[in-house]
A and B are shown apart, each in its own frame.
Chain A
Amino acid sequence: MFLIISILSACSHVDTDKVDRLNAKAYFYHFKNIDSTYAYAKKALALSRGYDAGAAEALNNLAFVDIVKMDYPGAAKKLNKILSITNNQVELMIADVQLMRLCQRKSNNKEFYDYYELALRHQRRIHEEEERLSEHQAKRLLYAKSEFSIVTSVYYYYVGLGESSHKAIESINPEVLLQGDTAQYLSYLYNVGAGGIPIKEHQDDVYQQEFDYLARCYIMARQLHYDYWEANSLQALSEHLITPQSRDKLIKDNLPTIKYINVDEMPDSLLAGNLAQRATDLFRSYGDVYQIASSYRTLASCYWQIADYNSAIACLENTLAENKSIQQAPDLIASIREQLSVFYSAVNDKHSSDYNRNIYLDLQERTRQDRYLESHAGQLEATSRQLNIMIVEVVLMIAFVLCLLLFFHYLRRRKSNENSLEKLLQPLEEWRERNANDLQLMEEKCEEIQEEYYISKANVSKNKKRNIEKRAKLFLVSTITPFIDRMLHEITRLKSTTEAAQLRDERYLYISELTSKINDYNDVLTQWIQLHQGALSMYIESFPLQNIFDVVIKSKTSFLLKEIELDIKPTSAVVKADKVLTLFMLNTLADNARKFTDAGGKVTIVAKEEPNYVEISVEDTGKGIAEADLAHIFEHKAIVDYKNSESHGFGLMNCQGIINKYKKTSNLFSVCCLKAESQVGKGSRFFFRLPKGITRILILLFVICNGFITVANAKSSTLPRSATQATNHRLQYLDLANIYADSAYYSNIKGNYEKTLSFADTCRYYLNQYYLQLRPNGRYLMKRTGELTAIPAELQWLHDNFPTNYSIILDIRNESAVAALALHDWELYKYNNNVYTLLFKENSADKTLGEYCRMMQRSESNKSVAVILLIVLLLSIFPLYYFMYYRHRFYFQFYMERVKQMNEILLSSDAPTIKKTAINEILSDKFPEELKDIATKIQQALQQSIESRELSKTNIELAEDELRKMDFEDNKLHISNNILDNCLSTLKHETMYYPSRISQLVSGKDQELQSIDELATYYKELYTILSMQATRHLSSIKPICQPVSVKNILSRHIQTESPEMANYTILGDEDLLIYLFEIIHKLSGNENSLIHIEPIANEYLLFKIPMPSLRLTDEECLMLFSPSVEHIPYLICRQIVRENADATNHHRCGVTAISNDGKVHIEIILTRTK
């Protein structure tokens, strides 16, 4: 890119020096020959392609030419072009200055100030790098600066701001100009001379000094052939020489100079005209349209002075007609029109005079400086208003956007508060409900277990009752043993000794008595057993066999310890039987198999389903059983016969007993059997058959609930508006002045000019009065007429910022001027017109206009900046909104997602502990406050749920354990009861025969002694074996020995004599003790009874229970605990007390019946808690 640019610049290389030279030449001819300037500038422009500064300079020169020729649009176009083609600050400044001149000519005040500002700005820029300027550029700068000051000065001069004009020209250093730029020096001289710049005490002195400047200008211009300046100085000199007063003095004071100037040697009175004529001619040849008109105006003044009114009028009319382009300069036209009105008035052409005066006044009005206030200031104000509107709009926009954002924020917040947060909490609620349901279910389960526990407990106590009864039966059995022993003893005696026959008979008799007693006892036992025959003691149910297998597999360890493999084949079979007894059988068979199998062997348990039954077999690889033994394996004979050998013991007998019991219970169990197959050395197979059962299926249903969604609405509000108004006051004097001014105007219209002047006098009087009212020591009072050079009072007022109505003054001065004009009172007219013009200009001129413009511009730019800033602010609201709110929103959203995730986890089907770890992973400290709340809530709820679940679980587990314990005890008792049942019935069946037989044989006495002996011995052995089987089994039920409060065991109907008695505690099994008192209560005839309790030796408690329903003798009381069917309840009581004594090791415990005159009471001694 850089390369391309450099090549291009090389190709389009221009001779800048040449362009500069051409431009310099063009500049040189500025005030000499405008055509040469044009030609050179044109050439320079043509050559300056690519040389911006050169082109700009050329254009500046061309614009100069255009201005001279009054081609203002062309000039403006060229100058504006400069602004766009270069950034050469000097040329730009020159262009600005030319534009300023253009504006001054066209009376475009506002634009003038704009360019004035721009020029100043460029000047400042140039100032920053002034030393770097080339010589040519320095010259141009000099021109620019001086031209700037001069144009400014001229502008101020024309708008009537003499002071500002003076200041502007003062800023020029004439020495420098004299050195650097002759043309500009001449311009300086001319402007000082023509523009009323010098300030002197006497007007004559001012004229003199001006004359000096102008003369110097003329001489120099003439010498150096600056035609333009020569003409200008001539014209100015001419103006100075028009009035006879100043002319005579000047001519008298400057004779040599006058002589030099008066080349045509005109008489003094015609010199001014001559000079004007020469100026006109020079301008004509030079080609400056504006100046031609201006010089004609001067010429006309000269004609007027010599009272050649018609020539003057012709001259001016000619000027106006000659070149229409001068219409572009309103000031010029205005002055021409003013002169014309005077001239026409002088020739008494009132109509034309008025016409021209009106044009003059109109132009005054149009070009007055504060037009700017109406047009440009208006424009500025418009832009300013526009800007204000924009600012307001932007501010409103910002407010609106902010409100909108706030509203959205509020909506979201509400939504988020009411909905999303609620929504976030909804799953928690749902989960809580679910959780509560779960907990409820768990609690229900716990309750169920509890209920089962109570059922089980009731079963246990029932079984305990049965058990104690069976123990009582067994005790009865054991009481028979001494009888048998005594029998055997008698037999031994009979065999070994030869006693007297009587004694032998006694012995035989005793034996028969014993046998009959045994028979009696057996009868009691038989009846006792039959007493409960009807009641089913087995729990028959259908159950999957696998359940049993699962329990058996627990004994795997004991097999492993013996290095035997236990193989249990899974099964789907369902059987109908007593579960506990089935388990007992299977365990018994498995234990036997283990016992008879050596290390390395294998025990297999398998169930085989057949159409009618399920066969459960236990197979081992043990030593096997001989065929002879196999036949009797389930009989007690095997035990009797092989007393010292290892035997299957009572286990198989018990199993056989259970199978027999099934068979006895129902026909359904006819398929039941227990069998064994064996081969010595190879192993055995024991199997039993049970009927098939029916399976049941349970179906569970779940119901899920739904939540609700809520919707929110928004509200809006309006703002009231207010306005204020102000009022004004008027002043009396001014009102009167105004009335007289109006009257003057009307009298002028009526042509009553004398009256006009008197009205004007009155009006002035009131204005002066007003002035004096406000300024009692005021020196300046308005006059009717006066010196033109002196400052009029109203102008002084204006300068002093006196607050009066200047429009009244202007009116009155104008009307006075018109009246004076009509009355041909030229002095009065001049004074009034002059005052009017000055006041009009000064009043409308605004010293602070530049400042005001600058301020307006500054404020405009400030406002622009404000607008931009506001827009930036507006735009920045969005990122700010993002940062301030939306980021939070995103952040919030992000964490909300997390909470949602937590909720999902919460509602998932995982275990609470897994949920907790998952949620803890998500949880962090960065959560926003509201969400943190929810998150902690979720966490806490979960934690709580885990805790309560854990508690529930523990409760359930504990309850289950309790239940299992109860079930276990129940089962144990159940088995024990059944086995005892079997044992007792076997004992009864097997031994019933022998006592009767012995009894029969006893009658045969000595002949049968041998048989009796054999029979009795066998009877004893069998009896011992069978009773041992039962007794052995008793030890499987461990006695319970716990402290029990008396009040807990007494039934509702039994009361203690005093309440303290109920607080005693005794040791024992609560269930059995309750049973004891139940029986006692029953025996007492189910009546409410009052018992007495007293401690014995601090170790026992004696319970004295009255038995009102019993009427017994002492003998009968003694016999109450001897075996008989009627005494069964007493026997049970005795058994309970006996067990209690045995468990507590307190032998005094017992139960006795005591008769007192037939009234019976029972005394029970039980062990007291220490």
Chain B
Amino acid sequence: MEKFKVIIVEDVPLELKGTEGIFRNEIPEAKVIGTAENEIAYWKLIKNELPDLVLLDLGLGGSTTIGVEICRQTKEMYPALKVLIFTGEIINEKLWVDVLDAGADGICLKSGELLTRGDVASVMAGKQLVFNQPILEKIVSRFKQSVNSRLMHQEAMINYEIDEYDERFLRHLALGYTKEQITNLRGMPFGVKSLEKRQNELVQKLFGESRGGMNINATRLVVRALELRIIDIDNLHSDEE
């Protein structure tokens, strides 16, 4: 790793101390050319000397999410400048997405192993989407969840013996089509009577015999189908579109 210049933006002195220690002890290539505890100080610094990397805390003083805007502006002004977010917002996932949208090269949470040499090196090597362990864990779990739902869909199709028409029927029910409208679809060669029969069969399949004395209406059926991933909430499109 080549030498590079870094500006640390951190409002809590004790934290700054720790971060500086990390750079000093673990990433000796980095030369901390300045630290800023607020936005004004930061812009002053960056005008004085342009760094290679900005380690940016998201909350500064009274402005707890100003980092996102600082990142955006920095990236707009200096696209080549690397911005690594180093934040204590360990649960505010929305903020992560926002800051990535603002152009951040990576996000390290102030949790677990904190800032590692590897992560900094990755950023400096030009890698995008550099995340430290805790954030990666979250990303992977979400990914798994998504893949799993795909699997569940397949399993559901097999387990509940859902055919192409059942899927189309349920999908259009979810879209708010009436049965009459559904019968008019090109890929639906049935009349209303058949559709009603099909719906009853679907209720049988998806809810089993016992329904706790509850009547299952179309909405409940569709919600069940969504739960079982028979239809995909992110992929609800009409055949006609």
Contacts and interface: CB of A to CB of B under 8 A. Distances in A.
A485 B62 contact: no
A482 B12 CA distance: 11
Contacts of B25: 493, 499, 503
Given A482-B111, A599-B212, 6 more contacts: A482-B15, A485-B110, A510-B21, A514-B14, A1142-B92, A1152-B62
Nearest to B95: A1147
B114 interface: yes
B35 interface: no
27 contacts: A485-B111, A485-B114, A486-B15, A489-B22, A490-B18, A492-B113, A510-B17, A513-B17, A514-B18, A599-B212, A1118-B11, A1118-B37, A1118-B38, A1120-B62, A1121-B62, A1122-B11, A1134-B61, A1138-B65, A1142-B92, A1147-B67, A1147-B69, A1149-B65, A1150-B60, A1150-B61, A1150-B62, A1152-B61, A1165-B63
B66 A482 contact: no
B174 to A, nearest CB: 20
A1145 interface: yes
Interface stretch (A31-39, A556-564, A725-733): A556-564
A485 B213 CA distance: 52
A1141 B22 CA distance: 31
Interface in B6-27: 11-12, 14-15, 17-18, 21-22, 25
A1150 B63 contact: yes
Given A561-B212, A562-B212, A1147-B65, A486 B18 contact: yes
Contacts of A506: 21
A1148 B61 contact: no
Nearest to B115: A489
B64 A485 contact: no
Nearest to B14: A517
Contact of A1147 (B21, B66, B91, B113): B66
B14 A513 contact: yes
Nearest to B41: A1118
A1151 interface: yes
A483 interface: yes
Contact size range, B = 35 or more
A1153 B90 CA distance: 27
A479 B58 CA distance: 12
Contact of A1151 (B63, B67, B114): B63
A987 to B, nearest CB: 16
Contacts of A493: 25
B140 interface: no
Given A486-B18, A499-B25, A1120 B61 contact: yes
A507 B22 CA distance: 11
A760 interface: no
Main secondary structure of the interface of A (DSSP, over half): helix
A80 interface: no
B210 interface: yes
Contacts of A481: 88, 90, 110-111
A482 B110 contact: yes
B111 A1151 contact: no
B66 A1118 contact: no
Contacts, number: 109
Nearest to A503: B25
Contact of A1133 (B14, B37, B62, B98): B62
A1093 interface: no
Nearest to B88: A482
Interface centre among B12, B14, B210 (most CB of A within 10 A): B14
B38 A1152 contact: yes
Interface string A446-478: 000000000000000000000000000001001
Given A482-B111, A1118-B37, A510 B88 contact: no
A475 B65 CA distance: 13
A1130 interface: yes
A478 B64 CA distance: 12
A588 interface: no
Interface in B195-227: 210, 212-214
A26 to B, nearest CB: 121
Nearest to B73: A1148
B68 interface: yes
Given A561-B212, A562-B212, A1147-B69, A1118 B88 contact: no
B100 to A, nearest CB: 13
Interface of B: 11-12, 14-15, 17-18, 21-22, 25, 37-38, 60-69, 88, 90-92, 94-95, 98, 110-114, 210, 212-214
Main secondary structure of the interface of B (DSSP, over half): loop
Which 10 A-B residue pairings sit nearest by Cβ, starting from the closest? A1150-B63, A1151-B62, A1147-B68, A482-B110, A1147-B65, A482-B88, A563-B212, A1121-B62, A1138-B64, A560-B212
Given A510-B18, A562-B212, A1031-B91, A486 B62 contact: no
Contact of A489 (B12, B38, B113): B113
B140 to A, nearest CB: 17
A1149 B58 CA distance: 12
Nearest to A1163: B62
A507 B26 CA distance: 13
A994 B62 CA distance: 29
Interface in A258-290: none
A492 B95 CA distance: 28
Interface in A1122-1147: 1122, 1130, 1133-1134, 1137-1138, 1141-1142, 1145, 1147
Contacts of B214: 557, 560-561
Nearest to B220: A561
Interface centre among B11, B62, B66, B210 (most CB of A within 10 A): B62
B93 to A, nearest CB: 12
A416 to B, nearest CB: 62
A1150 B111 contact: no
Nearest to A557: B214
Contacts of B95: 1147
Nearest to B89: A478
A1151 B60 CA distance: 10
A492 B112 CA distance: 10
A489 B21 CA distance: 11
B98 A1147 contact: yes
A507 B21 CA distance: 9
A514 B213 CA distance: 60
B104 to A, nearest CB: 12
A785 to B, nearest CB: 140
A1145 B97 CA distance: 11
A424 to B, nearest CB: 54
Nearest to B102: A1147
Nearest to A478: B88
Nearest to A1148: B69
Interface in A985-1013: none
A493 B18 CA distance: 12
B65 A1141 contact: yes
B41 to A, nearest CB: 9
A1027 B79 CA distance: 38
A1033 B17 CA distance: 33
Interface string A361-384: 000000000000000000000000
Contacts of B212: 560-563, 599
Contacts of A562: 212
A1142 B65 contact: yes
A486 B114 contact: yes
Contacts of A489: 18, 22, 113-114
Interface centre among B22, B61, B88 (most CB of A within 10 A): B61
A561 B208 CA distance: 12
A1147 B113 CA distance: 27
A563 B210 CA distance: 8
A485 B12 CA distance: 15
A1130 B62 contact: yes
A487 to B, nearest CB: 9
Nearest to B92: A1142
B115 to A, nearest CB: 9
Interface centre among B25, B95, B214 (most CB of A within 10 A): B25
Interface centre among B60, B63, B65, B66 (most CB of A within 10 A): B63
